[in-house]
Amino acid sequence: MRARPFAAVVGRISGFSLSVGAASLLGILAMPLLVPALGPESWGILVLVQIVGQLGGVLVAFGWGATGAAMVASTPADGQPRLYRESLRVRLQLYAVAVPSAALVLLLLTRGEVLTSVLGAVVYLLPHLGASWYFTGQARPMRLFLCDTVPTMCGTVVGVAGALLTGQMWAFLVGQGLGYVVAVTLDARAALRGTAAVADAGSRRPLRVVLAEQRHAVTATATSTLYVTLPAVAVQIFVPALLPVYAMADRLFKYASIAFLPIQQFFQGWVPDPQADLVRRARAATGAAVTIGVSAGILVATLSPFASRLLSGGTLEVPFSISLPLGIAFVGVGTSAVVGYACLVVVGRVRALAVSTVIGAGVGAPLILAFAAAGSVPLVAWAVAVSELCVASYQIVVLLRELRGLQEVPS
């Protein structure tokens, strides 16, 4: 009797792993081509542009990327398209605001590279208009792969080819941008298929009402993204010569986070099941997240030095003094990815999710800036570890307290 549910779990995780695995593999294969094609310094700037795009994407996604999957999973099927349509309408407006802001930040960080700054802002904010969270909440991994992952990968291939032919960053950005445009378009068509193309104008809620509902989710996303992106920005400001090394460490850390994403996506759709025991599933998800996070953290710490040499053609090496704290940080990342975005959202504690990230940013951001100003990149990495562990610890405490309360409620 248990074989069938287990097979369903494995099948769903495998489906989401297809998108993550294919995109990650392509990114890993592209790295040894891009680093020599652009040069280590320009490649480091490219990673910085992507990181700023991630930070600006918080404004565009406005929380839907974090909590949207659980919202979709707990929404009746006939109400899901309306939820997506409303989200897309709001995010398009936010995109128009975020692009010039991100371009200005990049212009300052790159010390006047106008083309890179403007093109980078336009391109790397585009993915936040997509529907990956929507397909995750619907438990549609193949739709996610075909509509979102495949065109994005095609854009990466075109971009890498352009970089190899020209040696210029703008060629890579153009290729990536084309892939993102196709992905966002296909996402919208698939998500709204079979529904009215245009919602009744009278049913549209005011922008301020929709944004107000997302305030806790966007606070959580913004503050967590702050202490995730701040290290590279701080290194660029205070010790720019070390940016390529930290950029490589950050990129490997990101690939580990991406590899964990199918686990998070599965639990975002599994924990909210209204027909199941929420308390039991939330506890199981938490235990699994901690266990997998520790295992993955060990791999990040031990393999990053070797992987960095391999992927950069021997031009860059992440020292163990940096990979060790980032491996420890990943334990917190893996835990909070499930506890926060799959469990706390479901039990109605999105505010606690936001508070946890504020705590992480409050602890980590001053340390990151201080250590970067002192010129110590390893200590910057340790500050990241402290931040992530603070976030995960607070979330676990809140979740366990909430679950005890649910158990005490008579059925």
Taking 90 as the threshold, does the pLDDT of residue 259 lie above it? Answer: no
Query: Are the CB atoms for 281 and 269 separated by under 8 Å?
Result: no
Instruction: Show the CA angle centred on residue 62, arms to residues 383 and 244, nearest 5°.
Output: 40
| Residue with the two structure tokens 């309408």 | 89
Of 324, 337, 318, give the one whose Cα is nearest residue 235. 318
162: Cβ–Cβ under 8 A, 6 or more apart, which residues?
A: 168, 171, 172, 174, 175
Start-to-end Cα distance in the chain? 26
Question: What mean pLDDT do residues 25-34 have?
Answer: 88
Tokens of 301: 């710490």
pLDDT in tens, 190-235: 988 866 544 444 467 777 777 777 777 777 777 777 777 889 889 9
Distance in angstroms (rounded) separating the CA atoms of residues 370 and 232: 13
User: In angstroms, what CA-CA distances link 193 with 133, 135, 143, 188, 358?
Assistant: 17, 13, 12, 8, 38
Tokens of 295: 């295992």
Residue at 192: amino acid letter: L
Please give the DSSP secondary-structure letter assigned to residue 343. Answer: I
Tokens of 316: 């860059």
pLDDT in tens, 38-78: 998 898 899 899 989 988 888 888 878 777 777 887 788 88
Q: What is the mean pLDDT of the chain?
A: 85
Distance in angstroms (rounded) separating the CA atoms of residues 405 and 22: 42
Question: What mean pLDDT do residues 350-357 have?
Answer: 83
Taking 60 as the threshold, does the pLDDT of residue 153 lie above it? Answer: yes
The H-or-E segment that residue 318 falls in is none
Distance in angstroms (rounded) separating the CA atoms of residues 127 and 54: 9
Distance in angstroms (rounded) separating the CA atoms of residues 24 and 156: 11
Of 194, 228, 52, 42, give the one whose Cα is nearest residue 128. 52
Helix, strand or coil for residue 239? Answer: coil
Predicted TM-score of the model (pTM): 0.71
pLDDT in tens, 279-327: 888 899 999 999 999 999 999 999 999 999 988 888 889 999 999 999 9
Tokens of 245: 């090394």
Tokens of 302: 């031990």
